[in-house]
Amino acid sequence: MSSLQVQKNSVPTTTSAIHLVSARRLIVKIGSTLIADAQIGEIRGLWLQSLIEDVVRFYKRGQQVIIVTSGAVAVGSRHFNHLDRPLRIEEKQTAAAIGQVRLMLAYAQKFKCHGFGLGQVLLTCEDIDDQHRRLNAQLTLEQLLNVGAVPIINENDATATAEICFGDNDRLAARVAEIVNADVLILLSDVDGLFTEDPHDNPEARLVKEVRCITPEIEAMAAHSPARHSSGGMVTKLMAARIAMDAGCAMVIAKGNKPYPLAAIESGGPSTWFIRSPKAGMPDTCTKLAP
* 173-202 confidence digits (pLDDT tens): 999 999 999 999 999 998 899 999 888 888
User: Letter for the amino acid at 12?
Assistant: P
Q: Cα–Cα distance between 233 and 210 in angstroms, integer?
A: 19
Instruction: Calculate what percentage of the chain has a pLDDT beyond 70.
Output: 84
In-domain check, residue 145: yes
Query: Own/partner pairs for 58-61, CB < 8 Å, 24+ apart?
Result: 58/20, 58/26, 58/262, 59/116, 59/150, 60/8, 61/8, 61/21
> Within a domain: residue 98?
yes
CA distance 145 to 76: 29
> Is pLDDT of 132 > 80?
yes
CATH at 28: 3.40.1160.10
Q: What is the pTM of this model?
A: 0.88
Query: Is 194 inside a domain boundary?
Result: yes
Residue 272 CB neighbour total at 10 angstroms = 26
Is 10 part of a structural domain of the chain?
no
Is the residue at 116 inside a domain?
yes
**Domain extent at residue 129:** 15-274
Indicate whether 1 belongs to any domain: no
pLDDT score for 142: 97
Longest dimension (CA), the chain: 54
Supply the pLDDT for residue 284: 45
Task: Quickly state the pLDDT bin for 10 (edges 50, 70, 90).
Answer: low
Domain total in the chain:
1
